[in-house]
Amino acid sequence: MRQDLGLLRPGDEVAVDPRILTNRRLDLVNDRTRQINRLREQLLGIFPALERALPRKGRGLVVR
């Protein structure tokens, strides 16, 4: 076991910083997902035929 590493306790600043960054990243990912879903709904409202071309999961359009 390494002897140069200290113990982390809940509330330590070193432990809090990664938690804040992780929560911020999760918020950004959730915001982006909501934006994509809103855009998709608007496009499908204008062009219903896109339903067949847009993939349910993944990225990009599926050309058929």
DSSP assignment string, 32-64? HHHHHHHHHHHHHHH-TTHHHHS-SSSSSPPP-
- Let me know if residue 24 belongs to a domain: yes
Domain, as residue range, for 46:
13-53
Query: For residue 62, what pLDDT is reported?
Result: 46
Neighbours of 10 (CB within 10 A): 7
Instruction: Give pTM, 2 decimals.
Output: 0.58
Residue 42: phi and psi, rounded to 5, are -65, -45
Considering its fold, how many domains does the chain have in total?
Answer: 1
Q: Is residue 33 a part of any domain in this protein?
A: yes
pLDDT at residue 63, rounded to an integer: 44
What are the angstrom distances between the C-alpha of 33 and each of 1, 30, 61?
42, 5, 17
Q: Is residue 45 included in any domain, yes or no?
A: yes
- Mean predicted confidence (pLDDT) in 29-37: 94
Residue 52's pLDDT is 80
Q: What percent of the chain has pLDDT over 90?
A: 28
Say if 48 falls within a structural domain. Answer: yes
pLDDT tens digits along 38-64: 998 998 899 888 878 776 665 554 444
